[in-house]
């Protein structure tokens, strides 16, 4: 409501509290134009923001098979089947499950169509004599030669020691030799050094 006093305007901003008008502010303007209706900033609390709940991954049957958290974003959730990023709101997540895209993506991965896993137990296999020979030759190359010489070393060993057990099965080219050094020998010696040093100072 605007009230004119000579060339001044007064804006009375009203709100209703229990059906009774209440004046919440006065705005004065000395120009010839009426001021815009201004309101005081709302003192209401910030709206509640739903965050991802850890129990969704195990408790609700509507969500537990496909819901996943989004690393670094507590307000979002990820669909395991269709890789969609959704707001972490229970109602919206339930509605997403009913969409055609989700149903189509979930069909091959559902529990009903998933083949049961047979609980095989891993059985450690002892290293064969050929594997021991290859590891020893790779260690020799590491300490005393270039990796490219492993091809010639393998052929020479087969020719000179053909009567030795396990030598004829050796296949140690430069590619395999490099892989043994990187993935087998190096991690072993790093762990051995860590166990040797422990928590003490090393120099």
pLDDT digit string, tens, across residues 80-136: 888 888 888 888 888 988 888 888 887 776 554 455 567 777 766 777 888 888 899
pLDDT digit string, tens, across residues 32-79: 444 444 455 556 667 778 888 888 888 778 888 888 888 888 889 988
How far, rounded to the nearest angstrom, does the alpha carbon of residue 12 sit from its chain's CA centroid?
Answer: 55
Cβ-based neighbours of 15, under 8 Å, separated by 6 or more = 21, 22, 24
Q: Kindly tell me the sign of the dihedral angle through the C-alpha atoms of 120, 122, 123, 125.
A: positive
According to DSSP, the residues that pair with 77 across neighbouring strands are 69, 86
Domain-by-domain residue ranges, the chain? 1-39, 54-108, 129-195
Q: What is the mean pLDDT of residues 191-201?
A: 82
- More confident: 106 or 203: 106
């Amino acid at each position: 409501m605007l009230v004119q006093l000579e060339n001044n305007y007064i804006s009375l901003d009203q709100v209703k509290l229990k059906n009774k008008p209440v004046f919440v502010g006065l705005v004065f303007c000395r120009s010839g134009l009426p001021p815009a209706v201004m309101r005081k900033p709302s003192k209401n609390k910030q709206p509640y923001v739903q965050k991802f709940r850890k129990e969704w991954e195990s408790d609700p049957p509507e969500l537990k098979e496909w819901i996943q958290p989004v690393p670094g974003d507590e307000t979002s959730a990820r669909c395991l089947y269709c890789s969609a990023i959704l707001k972490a709101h229970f109602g919206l997540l339930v509605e997403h499950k009913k969409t055609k895209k989700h149903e189509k993506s979930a069909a091959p991965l559902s529990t009903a169509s998933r083949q049961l896993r047979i609980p095989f137990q891993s059985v450690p296999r002892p290293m064969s004599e050929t594997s021991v020979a290859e590891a020893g030759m790779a260690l020799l190359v590491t300490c005393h030669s270039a990796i490219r010489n492993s091809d010639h070393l393998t052929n020479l060993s087969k020719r000179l020691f053909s009567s030795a057990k396990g030598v004829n099965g050796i296949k140690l080219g430069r590619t395999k030799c490099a892989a043994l050094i990187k993935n087998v020998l190096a991690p072993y010696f790093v762990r051995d050094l860590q166990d040797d040093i422990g928590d003490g100072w090393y120099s």
